[in-house]
Amino acid sequence: MRVLVVGAGGVGSAAAGIACRRDFFTRLVVADYDLARATRVIDTVGDERFVAAQIDASNAEAVAALCRAHDITHVLNAVDPRFVMPVFEGARAAGADYLDMAMSLSHPHPDDPFQRTGVKLGDEQFAAAPAWAAAGRLALVGIGVEPGLSDIFARYAADHLFSRIDEVGIRDGGNLEVAGYEFAPSFSVWTTIEECLNPPVIYEKGRGWFTTEPLSEPEIFDFPGGIGPVECVHVEHEEVLLIPRWVDAGRVTFKYGLGREFIEVLRTLHKLGLDRTEPVQVGAARVSPRDVVAAVLPDPATLGDKMTGKTCAGTVVRGLGKDFKPREVYLYHLVDNDWSMREYGAQAVVWQTAVNPVIALELLASGKWHGTGVLGPEAFDPQPFLDKLVEYGSPWEMREQ
Amino acid sequence: MRVLVVGAGGVGSAAAGIACRRDFFTRLVVADYDLARATRVIDTVGDERFVAAQIDASNAEAVAALCRAHDITHVLNAVDPRFVMPVFEGARAAGADYLDMAMSLSHPHPDDPFQRTGVKLGDEQFAAAPAWAAAGRLALVGIGVEPGLSDIFARYAADHLFSRIDEVGIRDGGNLEVAGYEFAPSFSVWTTIEECLNPPVIYEKGRGWFTTEPLSEPEIFDFPGGIGPVECVHVEHEEVLLIPRWVDAGRVTFKYGLGREFIEVLRTLHKLGLDRTEPVQVGAARVSPRDVVAAVLPDPATLGDKMTGKTCAGTVVRGLGKDFKPREVYLYHLVDNDWSMREYGAQAVVWQTAVNPVIALELLASGKWHGTGVLGPEAFDPQPFLDKLVEYGSPWEMREQ
């Protein structure tokens, strides 16, 4: 297996740091728009199988050319979701398989954005599914932690725990704190604004996909591992689009444990128009308000050693158990920032995202996972994946509710 | 009387619109950095006593030169408080009397900003009081609505209603709403951030002036005129510095009825660092985050015809009445935006500020008010002022509490 990782940011560099301990590949190219950033990753890894390259991820032909230059068999997309489509198309043009951790972007319904879907997350990718299948190639989309591991939990529940699933609800939360800052998000604030202020999507059997108000239906979810209760709200996320395609479920939702404080910050930014991306005139300068918000906050990739606490990703499944009695479980995965910093030098959220595509690549390399077309993580047998997670030193858990 | 109004913004132009109905002056020069803006005010007023001029309010010599060129007897400062000192000094250099509606700016205590005062509001002006007195000239500082009318209410209570005053508490609130905007402040957001996020100052007899945390000690105050309950918090304001100099009071506070929503917005802006004035790098541009906040919000001076509701400024006085029995009153002044727009084409907050210095000028012109040195509004007999307010069609009221 010869892998191209596009993007040497937090997740791309953590994936390199995880992969270098495994032997399922012979070549791993880390490419970034900024060659120096890619080179720093290679220098840190210190593994002869790794090389650095420069790439413009917005250009599908450049992606294809780099694949051909290195005889790439698998492209792992680790850049901003704005670049999903050119990387996806470049991989297919070069005859490589493709993996990503976020799907092609949505566009709200033009007239009725908070009730009806417009262009949904991943729609552009699924439109290309016949072409991928015809070419005998695989695009495994949404194989981070959420989407990714959360989808695998849903499939595991369907295969091994339930006879009927009434609801699958992804619940993500943590108690990460950053010392020395009054407010410091642990993930890209630009992306967090994007996903949290888009109309959230919900799936119901018989009704299909529909949308609701951003940050709506707050609920307090009690997270395990000492995290405790966190306020969660509806957020647009890929699982809602992926799970119903392969798992028979009455309803699928995603709620993000932003906590009261972050929710208020997002509401305020939106109310003032500071979430907007269109530039405004400020004196002689023209700037995007959302870029100004990102500029005044600390860069989350640099905060790992100031962070403490845990992050939890997981899936609530409710329905009838194999014994046809009502059952509800929470399948989850915890990462303690102290552990991920000590073991991998990566902060918890970034590490928890990056480990999953590395495991998927290893399963594809071994042939335990295989397929063609555009598939989600829940299209595959969950057991070998969950076993690998334990083998990688980061076990998953389950709570009966 | 020959008046120079420095600043043709909201308050300066409203003052011109009010003054043109009065006959106490023979010349009124409206000066602005932007001559076109001053000219628009003159064109709207259509009164031969008015002329427009260009001025750089940051330059005391330019202020003095303009005073001399027009034989100015009284300068009314209606620009941003950053320019108080040059306008104040320019007026004195030219031998003119001076009025303003906000005093020279404070600087927090370098070590202990939320307990001890540093340089207080007006300190720079009061330092020049001997020079003004020696020259036989008057600087009447803080003669808008708050400070201004609120100070006059305190003096009125001391003269006519109370034998002992335990506490004077200014309470300002409204129910103004702007149609078509989710969030639209009715006053300069730059200035609101400045006054609300500085350490608020409190006065107590025996202890003197001290500071506390911004936005602290929230209380719900029930405003009259149908406004109802609004959450008020401590804010730095001139009354706390002025009233104890002339009125014997046990304690003086200022609480601003920002309301829950505005308080949350200010807290969030501060938490994220978006209140900062030092520029940050955003791509190729360098911008002040506070300027970006102002740029994304609508300009309050342009919102008058989209606004509805009332604004209320007033003074709570608590102590022993003339009969030595416990008494508490709220002396207040309400302006309905519909009325101020219909009568004067000025939005309520701006009009309520501008009427007071015009009345003060009229009382100085008639000799009913006179004095030398640097004096606050509470240094003068309140009765003729309050009578004029009624005569101007905008009566004040009192509520026993």
* Residue A360 domain flag: no
Mean pLDDT of A348-359: 96
Nearest Cβ partner for B268 among A265, A281, A282:
A265
In a shared domain, residues B217 and B310: yes
Last residue in a domain, options B331, B348, B365: B348
In a shared domain, residues A229 and A344: yes
- In this predicted structure, the answer to whether residue A301 has a pLDDT above a threshold of 80 is no
In a shared domain, residues A328 and A209: yes
In a shared domain, residues A206 and A307: yes
CB-based contact (8 Å) between A302 and chain B?
no
Chain B residues whose CB is inside 8 A of the A286 CB are 285
Between chains, do A292 and B282 touch, taking CB under 8 Å as contact? Answer: yes
* Residue A376 domain flag: no
CB-based contact (8 Å) between A295 and chain B?
yes
CB-based contact (8 Å) between A268 and chain B?
yes
In a shared domain, residues B73 and B211: no
* Residue A209 domain flag: yes
Question: Positive or negative, the Cα torsion across A324, A325, A326, A331?
Answer: negative
Chain B residues whose CB is inside 8 A of the A282 CB are 285, 287-288, 291-292, 295
Where does the pLDDT of residue A300 fall: very low under 50, low under 70, confident under 90, or very high at 90 and above?
confident
Q: Of all residues in chain A, what percent are helix, strand and coil, respectively (each to 5)?
A: 40, 30, 35
* Residue B26 domain flag: yes
Nearest Cβ partner for B268 among A264, A288, A296:
A264
Q: Chain B closest CA to A264's CA: distance in Å?
A: 8
Nearest residue to A220 via CA among A262, A251, A252, A258 = A258
Taking the C-alpha atoms of residue A365 and residue A360, their distance in angstroms, rounded to an integer, is 9
Say which CATH number the domain at A70 has: 3.40.50.720
In a shared domain, residues A50 and A169: no
What is the pLDDT, as a whole number, of residue A367? 97
* Residue B315 domain flag: yes
Tokens 């209140």: give the residue. B275
Taking the C-alpha atoms of residue B42 and residue B15, their distance in angstroms, rounded to an integer, is 12
Give B314-340 pLDDT, tens digit per residue: 999 999 999 999 999 999 999 999 999
Between chains, do A281 and B295 touch, taking CB under 8 Å as contact? Answer: yes
In a shared domain, residues A311 and A182: yes
* Residue B300 domain flag: yes
Last residue in a domain, options B100, B129, B160: B100
Say which CATH number the domain at B225 has: 3.30.360.10
**B 155-194 residues with CB below 8 A of A?**
182-183
What is the pLDDT, as a whole number, of residue A18? 97
What is the pLDDT, as a whole number, of residue A80? 83
Give A44-99 pLDDT, tens digit per residue: 999 999 999 999 999 999 999 999 999 999 999 999 888 999 999 999 999 999 99
Q: CA of A86: how far to CAs of A38, A68, A95, A190, A362, in Å?
A: 19, 16, 14, 20, 25
User: Do B320 and B157 form a contact (C-beta atoms < 8 A)?
Assistant: no
Nearest Cβ partner for B287 among A273, A274, A292:
A292
Where does the pLDDT of residue A161 fall: very low under 50, low under 70, confident under 90, or very high at 90 and above?
very high
In a shared domain, residues A90 and A153: no
Helix (H, G, I), strand (E, B) or coil at B103: coil
Cβ neighbourhood burial of A302 (10 Å; 0-12, 13-18, 19+): exposed
In a shared domain, residues A298 and A214: yes
Nearest Cβ partner for A272 among B283, B287, B293:
B293
DSSP string, A4-49: EEE--SHHHHHHHHHHTT--S-SEEEEEESSHHHHHHHHHHH--TT
Chain A residues whose CB is inside 8 A of the B276 CB are 296
Between chains, do B295 and A285 touch, taking CB under 8 Å as contact? Answer: no
Alpha helices in B273-366 (DSSP H): 289-296, 337-344, 348-366
Please state whether A114 falls in left (phi above 0), alpha (psi between -120 and 50) or beta: alpha
Between chains, do A291 and B268 touch, taking CB under 8 Å as contact? Answer: no
What is the value of ipTM here, to two decimals?
0.70
Q: In what order do the strands lie in the sheet with A27-32?
A: A50-54, A27-32, A2-6, A74-77, A97-100, A138-140, A373-375
Instruction: Give the residue on A whose Cα is nearest the Cα of B296.
Output: A273
Segment (H or E) for B232: strand B228-234
- CB pairs below 8 Å between A and B: how many? 74
Nearest residue to B176 via CA among B292, B307, B339 = B307
Q: Phi and psi at residue A85, in whole multiples of 5°?
A: -65, -45
Between chains, do A289 and B296 touch, taking CB under 8 Å as contact? Answer: yes
Q: CA of B124: how far to CAs of B74, B130, B200, B357, in Å?
A: 20, 12, 18, 21
B213-222 long-range Cβ contacts below 8 angstroms, 24+ apart: B213/B114, B214/B114, B214/B270, B215/B258, B215/B263, B215/B266, B215/B267, B217/B255, B218/B263, B219/B255, B221/B171, B221/B173, B221/B255, B221/B257
In a shared domain, residues A35 and A157: no
Pairing of strands B27-32, B50-54: parallel
Segment (H or E) for B333: strand B326-336
CB-based contact (8 Å) between A273 and chain B?
yes
In a shared domain, residues A307 and A165: yes
Last residue in a domain, options A82, A100, A118: A100
CB-based contact (8 Å) between B213 and chain A?
no
* Residue A229 domain flag: yes
Tens-digit pLDDT string for chain B (401 aa): 999 999 998 899 999 999 999 999 999 999 999 999 999 999 999 999 999 999 999 999 999 999 999 999 999 999 988 899 999 999 999 999 999 999 999 999 999 999 999 999 999 999 999 999 999 999 999 999 999 999 999 999 999 999 999 999 999 999 998 888 888 887 778 888 888 889 999 999 999 999 999 989 999 999 999 999 999 999 999 999 999 999 999 999 999 998 888 888 999 999 999 999 899 999 889 999 999 999 999 887 778 889 999 999 999 999 999 999 999 999 999 999 999 999 999 999 999 999 999 999 999 999 999 999 999 999 999 999 999 999 999 999 999 99
Which residues fall within 8 angstroms of residue B189, CB to CB, at 6 or more apart?
Answer: B293, B294, B297, B300
Chain A residues whose CB is inside 8 A of the B298 CB are none
Q: Chain A closest CA to B281's CA: distance in Å?
A: 7
What is the pLDDT, as a whole number, of residue B326? 98
Taking the C-alpha atoms of residue A186 and residue A306, their distance in angstroms, rounded to an integer, is 11
Cβ neighbourhood burial of B129 (10 Å; 0-12, 13-18, 19+): middle
Chain A residues whose CB is inside 8 A of the B296 CB are 272-274, 276, 280, 289
In a shared domain, residues B281 and B156: yes
* Residue A60 domain flag: yes
What is the pLDDT, as a whole number, of residue A261? 86
- Expressed as residue numbers, the domain containing A82 is 2-100
Chain B residues whose CB is inside 8 A of the A295 CB are 280-282
Between chains, do B293 and A271 touch, taking CB under 8 Å as contact? Answer: no
Nearest Cβ partner for B183 among A271, A283, A295:
A271
Between chains, do B280 and A264 touch, taking CB under 8 Å as contact? Answer: no
Percentage with pLDDT > 70 across chain A = 100
Chain A residues whose CB is inside 8 A of the B291 CB are 282-283
> How many domains does chain A fold into?
2
Between chains, do A297 and B264 touch, taking CB under 8 Å as contact? Answer: no
